[in-house]
Amino acid sequence: MKALVATMVAFALAVALLLPAVHAEDGDEWETERRRVEVQRESDGFELRSDRAVGALHDRIVLRLDGPDVRFRYKLLEERNATQAEAELRVELDQLVEFRDVNGDGVLRPAEDDVRATYDRGDLAFAGVTSVDVVSAGVPGVQVIANYTFLAAPNATLGFRATVFGDPTTFEGTSQTPVQIKLDLLLDAFPFTEADTRPAITLKAEIESRFAASATTEAMMFSAGNLSAVFRWRPTADVDGIAQAVGVAVTPLPGEAEPGEQAWGVAFAYERGASIVHDPTFGFTLESFVRTGGGILGDVGLFALGAGAAAVLFLVLALAGKQRKVKRP
């Protein structure tokens, strides 16, 4: 009987160690525990860092802008000093477009619409970076802004404003966790050449992951082990102070992806206006899990693993004790 109990205990522990992913609730400690945020301004861009400030793990989330290339790199490092990212998403500017919406669907479709003018990275001048400390609902954060001017029209500007907080808060009417970075697209005095056209911004997004990725007109998502990354955007933009619908087109770019990567083209079409603000957001979500071979293991996952093993072990020992009592004379 003792051998049977020992076997059952060993089996129970093995099952506990092989438990599938434990999906955390929105209150996942990895998302809600305090993080230290800072910005490193450089002559050609900036690096916005969010480090886990407490707990056993010391991961780092980075949003980096390469100014001249107008390219963002959003990644998570398993350790602060790691050289290889656990997950990475790259987003770069493709073009700014002035077009006439021929079919009236509000979406930029170059094969169907009348494109009147285009501007790429070579038509922009990087004007530098500024950063400020921000506070929302008593929670401190960091905000950094990168500005560009149009070479042909210096009064026209394109800006990117990134905001991150060290604790969960509500910012501009939206809940924001410490593992999310809000990135506003700022378009002012777009150099329209005609009176009945609209502006659009096209981006190229690349995901480096051995796991499947997906893209819709609402967001781009992918997983890397226990990690889910998302690049999402609101369906509306602030155009001259009024919320207006954004026409979104997402197109796979299989021919432009490197091995092990997936690429999409994303086009945001806006209503015509002098000032346009649109707010995509980069974000990570951790689903606590048990993984062999190392990697990130969330605190909730450790708790669930221990609790699961203890519960099964308790049950097995209780059953064994009950059987011994039955056999007593």
Q: If you search the block for the tokens 């996952």, which residue do you land on? A: 301
Same domain, 133 and 158: yes
Q: What is the number of domains present in the chain?
A: 2
Tell me if 79 is assigned to some domain.
no
Q: Helix count (H) and strand count (E) of the chain?
A: 3, 22
List the beta bridge partners of residue 71.
66, 92
Cα torsion 23, 24, 26, 28: sign:
negative
**Rounded Cα distance, 67 and 146, in Å:** 8
Same domain, 273 and 322: no
Token pair listed for 172: 């501009």
Same domain, 178 and 312: no
Q: Are 144 and 155 in contact (CB under 8 A)?
A: no
Q: What pLDDT is recorded for position 266?
A: 95
**Rounded Cα distance, 305 and 292, in Å:** 13
Same domain, 299 and 325: yes
3-class state of residue 124 by DSSP: strand
Tell me if 190 is assigned to some domain.
yes
* Mean local confidence (pLDDT), 195-209: 91
Confidence class of residue 22 from pLDDT cuts 50, 70 and 90?
very low
By CB neighbour count within 10 A (0-12 exposed, 13-18 middle, 19+ buried), where does 185 fall? buried
**pLDDT surpasses 90 at 1:** no
Tell me if 143 is assigned to some domain.
yes
Q: Are 320 and 5 in contact (CB under 8 A)?
A: yes
List the beta bridge partners of residue 95.
202
Tell me if 63 is assigned to some domain.
no
68-87 pLDDT, tens per residue?
999 998 887 777 676 677 77
Tell me if 55 is assigned to some domain.
no
Same domain, 297 and 211: no
55-69 pLDDT, tens per residue?
666 778 888 999 999
**pLDDT surpasses 80 at 147:** yes
Tell me if 36 is assigned to some domain.
no
Same domain, 156 and 232: yes
Same domain, 214 and 263: yes
Same domain, 235 and 210: yes
Domain with 177, as residue range(s), is 93-287
Tell me if 226 is assigned to some domain.
yes
Token pair listed for 134: 């921000």
Tell me if 78 is assigned to some domain.
no
Average pLDDT, the chain: 76
281-321 pLDDT, tens per residue?
888 765 432 232 333 333 323 222 223 333 333 333 333 44
Same domain, 142 and 205: yes
Same domain, 215 and 197: yes
Same domain, 141 and 282: yes
**Rounded Cα distance, 95 and 201, in Å:** 6
